[in-house]
Amino acid sequence: MVPFGVDALVIYLASTYSEIVWIFLPIVTMGSLAGVALTYWIGRRAGYAGLPWLLTPRQLDRLKVIVQKAGAGRLAAAAVLPPPFPLTPFVLTCGALDFDRRRFFLVFGVMRLIRFATIALLARHYGDRVRQIL
């Protein structure tokens, strides 16, 4: 996977097609949610007993505490942080510990939409200069 791939796609689309950027945001958000849903499902199928096969012991101990205490704020922060934040271990742990699915996907989806909208607005504003960098 290319680092910043989805973000770069949003930047390119928003700077190139600024008039219809609102169409891309829900599509990219749904794609992101589909990827996270797959990871969540893998964690759920693996269960807590299967996590040591997927994560290092250090990651597992740290994430177990974080997820068990996770409120909407921590989940929202995880959804907004860009790479190289280790999102996959976090989502796997949420699935394995049977984190409330509705709350997880609602908060995650809203925060991803906010993240992509912010990126798109910045790309619309800076347009050509951003495309030259990409």
The string of pLDDT tens digits covering residues 49-69 is: 877 777 788 877 777 777 777
**Contact (Cβ atoms closer than 8 angstroms) between residue 82 and residue 40:** no
The structural domains of the chain, with segments of one domain joined by +, span: 5-133
Task: Give the list of residues 6+ apart from residue 116 with CB closer than 8 angstroms, or none.
Answer: 6, 7, 10, 25, 28, 29, 32
Q: Report the 10 Å Cβ neighbour count for 68.
A: 10
The string of pLDDT tens digits covering residues 22-40 is: 888 999 999 999 999 999 9
pTM, entire model: 0.79
